[in-house]
Amino acid sequence: MLSRTEHKFGCEDCEFKKMSCLYVEPDSFEEFRQQSIKLSFSKGETIFKQGGKSGGLLFLHEGIVKFCYQYDSGSNYIMTIVRGPKLLGGANLFFKSVNIFSITAMEDSRVCMLDSAAFMKLAIGNPAYLLALVENTMDMFQDAIFNFISLAHNHVNGRIATILLYLHKNVYNGQGYSFTVSRKEIAEFAACSHENVINTLSRFRKEGIIEFHGKEIEIINIELLEEISRKG
Amino acid sequence: MLSRTEHKFGCEDCEFKKMSCLYVEPDSFEEFRQQSIKLSFSKGETIFKQGGKSGGLLFLHEGIVKFCYQYDSGSNYIMTIVRGPKLLGGANLFFKSVNIFSITAMEDSRVCMLDSAAFMKLAIGNPAYLLALVENTMDMFQDAIFNFISLAHNHVNGRIATILLYLHKNVYNGQGYSFTVSRKEIAEFAACSHENVINTLSRFRKEGIIEFHGKEIEIINIELLEEISRKG
DNA sequence: CGCGAGCTTGACGTTGTTCAACTAGAGTGG
DNA sequence: CCACTCTAGTTGAACAACGTCAAGCTCGCG
């Protein structure tokens, strides 16, 4: 029997198992699962380090993580932010032997590190499963690309509006219209200075689009925010 | 027997067939190939239109194409430029029923439009083949992402340097240090105004980094260009 | 010959970065 | 418990980067 602690990690009802068992036999999945390692990360801890040896596939059971690119100069760029449950695969993990970016926990997170070789074995035997996982990964890429496009075309107003909407809809969903992010992280996501973020957020507050107390930001007028996101 | 015209399309020695037959039986591939359509596109012609129904997978035998995102305002953003032979798959084509960006020929190009259903059948039967194709696609995404990162972090100097290096190394390789691109396209790639491109290129010329006559650009000092690309 | 698209240049205003000074809160060690 | 330090946040001023506008240019094409 599972102990209470192990049960907290949800091996019996985990989302990854549920999704996998749509395609593969529970026994095959169980064999694969035996090769994986359960880990907890606290807010701020680095899960994968840019430039480090790739740790294979990662399943984020619960929590919120950011994909960061770190420059030699020391500054960071956040490529995307995702919440669990989600498979974190793709260019960083599927095929490369070295991580091309870092993955850092933004909230306390629980993950499973999956064994690449065991995964490949499972995938080769179940192409429909592989296809479903690739599709899942592509969705994450697509979200990231739309953020890049907003970044390429819009001024800081529009970029920050896009980011606030993204965080509301895709990350902090299911908790009303408010969430907690630092100005520094918004700056790293929007690729601008933190001073500019502060000024922009203050302007949004003056105009009644958002409200904030400390790090907690609340969206008041989402229609207007969407218009700013579109028009730049 | 193949006619001379058909032979020009290279069905016997095409790169896609060569690559595919590392994984699948020639007979299976031939069956798949029967479902595909050979087409030629002239410089400037649109191959896939953003918002249009997805045309499935595309193999670019020869030529150069750009992936464009078009804004309501009418302005364009070039996400990436690739040369054949290359499989153009990924988020745009693998799974979505609607194209999320346009693909346009920058030089005269020859392509095969592949049938999605026939491809899926082939891939499901040959997981190693699917894996190889996904890896190929991910590489293209990775290149695009590095361009995005340069765009997010660098000033126009660095962005244009990055783009010139990308074009030299990945697109117009095998033709020395010179190539032909319009200022407008560089501007759409670097996400800045065409005036800014002109000023930057002139500055690069004054500093002896590049030389140009009309649309033909030649890289003179590649080390310096790489330094600008890195440092912004 | 005239037209339009792309290219070029300079002036000007806006946007955004950098810098400096200050405040507030969270750890840390005596 | 209190200083000390470190990080994040805030504000304003000075400066650089960039886009926009206007004008004139060249080239290819009908």
Question: 10 Å Cβ neighbour count for A1?
Answer: 5
Residue B8: band (very low, low, confident or very high) from pLDDT cuts 50, 70, 90: very low
The values of phi and psi at residue B132, to 5°, are -65, -40
Of A154-158, B92-96, B135-139, B176-180, minimum mean pLDDT range = B92-96
The values of phi and psi at residue A217, to 5°, are -110, 135
Instruction: Taking residues A176-200, report their average pLDDT.
Output: 95
Residue B4: band (very low, low, confident or very high) from pLDDT cuts 50, 70, 90: very low
What amino acid is encoded at A46 in this protein?
T
A75 contact to strand D (CB, 7 A limit): no
- Chain B residue with CA closest to A231: the answer is B73
Distance in Å, residue A74 CA to nucleotide C24 C1': 25
Q: How far is CA B45 from CA B41, B65, B215, in A?
A: 6, 10, 20
Question: A98 at the B interface (CB within 8 A)?
Answer: no
| Count of CA atoms in the C-beta half-sphere (13 A) of A38 | 14
Which residue in the block uniquely carries the two structure tokens 């790169």?
Answer: B15
Chain A CB contacts of B126 under 8 Å are 127
This prediction has a pTM of 0.89
pLDDT of residue B95: 62
The CA distance from B118 to B116, in Å, is 6
The residue ranking higher by pLDDT, B12 or B119, is: B119
Q: Over the stretch A25-77, which tens digit does the pLDDT of each residue have?
A: 999 998 888 888 898 998 999 988 888 887 778 899 999 999 999 888 888 99
B199 contact to strand D (CB, 7 A limit): no
What amino acid is encoded at B152 in this protein?
A
Instruction: For residue A124, give the nearest of B100, B128, B153 by CB distance.
Output: B128
A195 contact to strand D (CB, 7 A limit): yes
Looking at CATH, the fold of the domain delimited by A153-231 is given as Arc Repressor Mutant, subunit A (1.10.10)
Q: Over the stretch B48-67, which tens digit does the pLDDT of each residue have?
A: 888 888 777 889 999 999 99
The encoded tokens of residue A202 equal: 């203050």
Q: Over the stretch B70-95, which tens digit does the pLDDT of each residue have?
A: 888 888 999 999 998 888 875 555 56
Q: Which CATH number fits domain A6-144: 3.40.630.40, 2.60.120.10, 1.10.730.10, 3.90.110.10?
A: 2.60.120.10
Which residue in the block uniquely carries the two structure tokens 């200022």?
Answer: B183
Q: Over the stretch B152-174, which tens digit does the pLDDT of each residue have?
A: 999 999 999 999 999 999 999 98
Interchain contact, B77 vs A152, CB within 8 Å: yes
Give the β-pairing of A210-213 and A178-180.
unpaired
pLDDT of residue B6: 43
pLDDT of residue A203: 95
pLDDT of residue B2: 38
Residue B58 to chain A, least CA–CA distance (Å): 17
The CA distance from A37 to A29, in Å, is 14
The encoded tokens of residue B133 equal: 């194709």
Interchain contact, A138 vs B75, CB within 8 Å: no
Residue A94: band (very low, low, confident or very high) from pLDDT cuts 50, 70, 90: low
Q: How far is CA B121 from CA A118, B12, B115, B206, in A?
A: 25, 22, 10, 57
Which residue in the block uniquely carries the two structure tokens 């009418």?
Answer: B74
Closest nt to residue A214, judged CA to C1': D9
Instruction: Taking residues A195-209, report their average pLDDT.
Output: 95
Q: What residue spans define the domains of chain A?
A: 6-144, 153-231
Instruction: Taking residues A4-10, report their average pLDDT.
Output: 44
Q: How far is CA A218 from CA A54, A147, B163, B174, in A?
A: 37, 21, 39, 54
Residue B22 has pLDDT above 60, yes or no: yes
Residue A95: band (very low, low, confident or very high) from pLDDT cuts 50, 70, 90: low
Interchain contact, B91 vs A141, CB within 8 Å: yes
Q: Over the stretch B209-218, which tens digit does the pLDDT of each residue have?
A: 999 988 899 9
pLDDT of residue B94: 56
Distance in Å, residue A183 CA to nucleotide C21 C1': 20
The CA distance from A32 to A214, in Å, is 45
